[in-house]
């Protein structure tokens, strides 16, 4: 049985960033990847692109240096970037090795059950992504005549059968796919929840510039009204076609029917909660909150305050049921949760929402178990290409000191 000092699970931006920092500290390690480098990005739909600008790609010794810093990398460009980064830092990646279990070893450390056999390792760092477990609300109420698909399996409009599509989930992925389906001539309805939104450009700059410079992305979990707010959707927007506004108002104007939360099928109808207006109002309140932060930052820096007008009126009256025979498919594009428990057998290592209980990425319950790339591991940007490198240095220090 092979014995390793440190094993990183996952060769995306988090695993590769941690690999670079461990190499810098002369810590021997390997990176096990179930597929190929950047596999989670390879699994995105065909037209996927970043919602954050290219200048936010800031990995350790691997910042974006291409010709379009204000553009938005597409799926294949992200994969190419990560492949080149792995080569540049000489990351010890073993592709095609899936980790299926993590158990304590009798002599200390861990035994990993992998597709290539068992491995002993002193320490484990899980870098398998911010969210792994998809939630499909009320899926059991749908008849077999309806094709059900998770966003992870969607590739393009032709992936779904002809006919109407209900998109359940209204974060960045749901909105972008609903827009793509509508542009392809499909009949689309979207079951909406609470999500913040922001114009693509604010005061002549990308809105992400303001999120970075006003300190919003540096906020820790303790700044949230409730730990459950970690599950709030990311800011509604799009990097497609050079970047453009994409929110509930834009989508409705494009012909997508907006309804409330999906409550399941009943008889010959699909049912929805009467809460669309409340969800939009919640997003508008988040817009106002961010506008206040942006204006305050402008005043502190002595730069012009951005023009951020009040949201346009929104009529929240909508149908509470739609005929079932209008739709041929339901696409689930929201409700993802952390899925670490499927791999880690220590129940007390996680909170009620499934997030690791840790200090600087090291488990409080399981010595030698580390996490990187977790949403809100330390701050709002912990799982982003912008912030994972900062966390990687801190997690690597903990590993090296162990």
Q: What is the pLDDT of residues 257-308, one digit of tens each?
A: 999 999 999 999 999 999 999 999 999 999 999 999 999 999 999 999 999 9
Same domain as 322, residue 202: yes
Same domain as 110, residue 92: yes
Mean pLDDT, the chain, whole residue set: 96
Same domain as 171, residue 107: no
Same domain as 212, residue 297: yes
Same domain as 358, residue 231: no
Same domain as 321, residue 221: yes
Q: Buried b vs exposed e over 84-120: b needs ≥16 C-beta within 10 Å? A: ebbeebebbbeeebebeebeeeeeebbbbebeeeebb
The pLDDT of residue 135 is 87
Among the candidates 315, 332, 349, a domain finishes at 332
Nearest to 378 by CA among 363, 364, 359, 365: 359
**Residue 280 belongs to what domain range?**
139-332
Q: How many Å apart are CA 339 and CA 128, to the nearest integer? A: 9
Same domain as 90, residue 193: no
pLDDT at 132 over 90: no
Among the candidates 306, 332, 358, a domain finishes at 332
Hunting for tokens 């409705």 — which residue is that? 252
Nearest to 161 by CA among 334, 321, 335, 331: 331
The pLDDT of residue 309 is 97
Q: What is the CATH number of the domain that holds 77?
A: 3.50.50.60
The pLDDT of residue 130 is 73
pLDDT at 131 over 80: no
Q: How many Å apart are CA 193 and CA 276, to the nearest integer? A: 7
Distance (Å) of CA 337 to CA 12, 130, 134, 320: 18, 8, 6, 27
Among the candidates 303, 332, 361, a domain finishes at 332
Same domain as 292, residue 194: yes
Same domain as 199, residue 116: no
Total domains present in the chain:
2
pLDDT tens, position by position, 31-73:
999 999 999 999 999 999 999 999 999 999 999 999 999 999 9
Same domain as 143, residue 64: no
pLDDT at 317 over 80: yes
Residue 335 · residue 169 · CB < 8 Å = yes
Same domain as 244, residue 205: yes
């Amino acid at each position: 049985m092979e014995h390793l000092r440190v094993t990183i699970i996952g060769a995306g931006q988090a695993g590769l960033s941690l690999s670079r920092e461990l190499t810098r500290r002369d810590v021997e390690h390997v990176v096990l990847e179930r597929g190929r480098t950047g596999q989670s990005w390879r699994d995105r739909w065909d037209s996927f692109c970043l919602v954050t600008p290219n200048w936010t790609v800031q990995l350790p010794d691997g910042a974006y240096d291409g010709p379009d810093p204000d553009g938005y990398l597409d799926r294949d460009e992200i994969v190419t970037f990560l492949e080149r980064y792995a080569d540049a830092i000489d990351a010890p990646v073993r592709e095609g090795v899936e980790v299926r279990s993590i158990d304590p070893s009798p002599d200390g450390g861990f035994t990993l059950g992998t597709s290539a056999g068992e491995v002993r390792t002193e320490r484990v760092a899980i870098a398998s992504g911010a969210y792994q477990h998809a939630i499909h609300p009320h899926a059991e109420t749908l008849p077999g005549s309806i094709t059900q698909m998770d966003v992870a399996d969607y590739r393009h409009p032709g992936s779904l059968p002809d006919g109407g599509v209900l998109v359940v989930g209204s974060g960045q992925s749901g909105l972008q796919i609903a827009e793509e389906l509508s542009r392809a001539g499909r009949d689309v309805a979207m079951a909406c929840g609470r999500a913040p939104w922001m114009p693509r450009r604010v005061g002549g700059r990308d809105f992400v510039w303001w999120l970075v410079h006003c300190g919003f992305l540096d906020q820790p979990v303790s700044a949230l009204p409730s730990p459950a707010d970690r599950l709030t959707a990311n800011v509604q927007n799009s990097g497609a076609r050079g970047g453009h506004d994409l929110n509930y108002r834009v989508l409705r104007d494009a012909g997508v029917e907006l309804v409330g939360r999906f409550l399941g099928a009943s008889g010959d109808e699909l049912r929805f909660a009467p809460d669309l207006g409340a969800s939009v109002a919640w997003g508008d309140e988040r817009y106002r909150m961010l506008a206040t932060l942006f204006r305050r930052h402008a005043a502190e820096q002595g730069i012009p305050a951005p023009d951020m007008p009040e949201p346009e009126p929104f009529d929240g009256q909508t149908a509470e049921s739609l005929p079932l025979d209008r739709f041929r498919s339901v696409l689930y594009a929201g409700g993802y949760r952390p899925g670490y428990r499927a791999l880690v057998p220590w129940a007390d290592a996680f909170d009620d929402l499934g997030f690791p209980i840790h200090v600087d990425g090291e488990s409080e319950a399981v010595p030698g178990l580390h996490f990187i790339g977790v949403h809100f591991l330390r701050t709002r940007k912990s799982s982003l290409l912008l912030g994972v490198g900062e966390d990687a240095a801190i997690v690597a220090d903990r590993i090296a000191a162990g």
